């Protein structure tokens, strides 16, 4: 049993390494959009068995970085700057609608949830474990989505948020941007707390605009380093 657990752990670790390498090369454009990825070819190139490659490709497809072609492998999704801008422009429009809807419907419990989220975000910033911020960021926005009291709007917002997350997972977040994100969240919370519609729209706009600019800038930087 102990040997099985060790082998399972080693396989998982190898899958993670393969997954991280492929994801970085896709994100940076070293493996460009439209490229066909074949399990056996990648296994030979990386000098690993096909199992970790198969699992890594499956996980990358779940993240939306690849799409499967039956009996032909996987194709890398296009990830251009224009795609990112389109994603954030669409998300910004939808988030403004969600924020306006939530402003009139958010309750005291949800406001307390936003406040609690900000406190925990401060604790993460103080600890330096910035990888935990992604979950808190999602939680913060999820509270707002639910406050719209619209199942349709909630699903649309969640889908756009999940799609955005694939970029944030693959790219590191410097401390100064993490602090800025927390400040944006603080502004959004204060706007909800004071029922200030204009401040809320401005805060949401500033938050998503900075996130877009950061991702495009960092992708450019990683592309230069990769080549």
Burial (0-12, 13-18, 19+ Cβ within 10 Å), 131: exposed
Asked if residue 23 has pLDDT above 70, the reply is: yes
120-144 pLDDT tens trace: 999 999 998 887 788 899 899 999 9
Measured distance CA(202)–CA(97) in Å, rounded: 13
Asked if residue 154 has pLDDT above 60, the reply is: yes
Asked if residue 171 has pLDDT above 70, the reply is: no
39-96 pLDDT tens trace: 999 999 999 999 999 999 999 998 778 988 887 889 988 767 788 888 889 999 999 9
105-115 pLDDT tens trace: 999 999 999 99
Do 185 and 140 touch, CB atoms closer than 8 A?
Answer: yes
- 3-state SS, residue 85: helix
Measured distance CA(218)–CA(27) in Å, rounded: 10
| Between 208 and 163, the higher pLDDT residue | 208
Tell me the residue length of the chain: 227
Residue entry with tokens 């997972």: 169
Do 207 and 219 touch, CB atoms closer than 8 A?
Answer: no
- Give the domains, in start order, of the chain with CATH numbers: 2-76 (1.10.10.10), 81-226 (1.20.120.530)
pLDDT confidence of residue 190: 98
Question: For the whole model, what pTM was predicted?
Answer: 0.71
Do 91 and 164 touch, CB atoms closer than 8 A?
Answer: yes
């Amino acid at each position: 049993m102990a040997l099985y657990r060790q082998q399972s752990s080693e396989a998982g670790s190898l899958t993670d390494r393969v997954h991280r390498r492929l994801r970085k090369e896709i994100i940076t454009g070293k493996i460009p959009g439209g490229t066909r990825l074949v399990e056996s070819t990648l296994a030979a190139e990386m000098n690993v068995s096909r199992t970790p490659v198969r699992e890594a490709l499956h996980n990358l497809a779940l993240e939306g970085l690849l799409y499967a072609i039956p009996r032909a492998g996987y194709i890398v999704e296009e990830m251009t700057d224009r795609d990112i801008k389109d994603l954030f422009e669409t998300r910004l429009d939808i988030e403004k609608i969600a924020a306006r809807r939530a402003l009139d419907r958010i309750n005291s419990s949800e406001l307390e949830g936003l406040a609690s989220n900000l406190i925990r975000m401060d604790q993460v910033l103080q600890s330096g474990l910035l990888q935990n911020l992604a979950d808190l960021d999602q939680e913060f926005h999820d509270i707002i989505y639910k406050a719209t009291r619209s199942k349709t709007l909630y699903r649309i917002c969640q889908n756009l948020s999940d799609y955005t997350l694939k970029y944030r997972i693959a790219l590191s977040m410097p401390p100064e941007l993490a602090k800025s994100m927390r400040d944006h969240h603080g502004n959004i919370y204060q706007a909800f707390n004071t029922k200030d519609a204009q401040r809320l729209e401005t805060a949401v706009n500033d938050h998503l605009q900075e996130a877009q600019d950061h991702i495009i800038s960092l992708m450019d930087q990683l592309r230069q380093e990769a080549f």
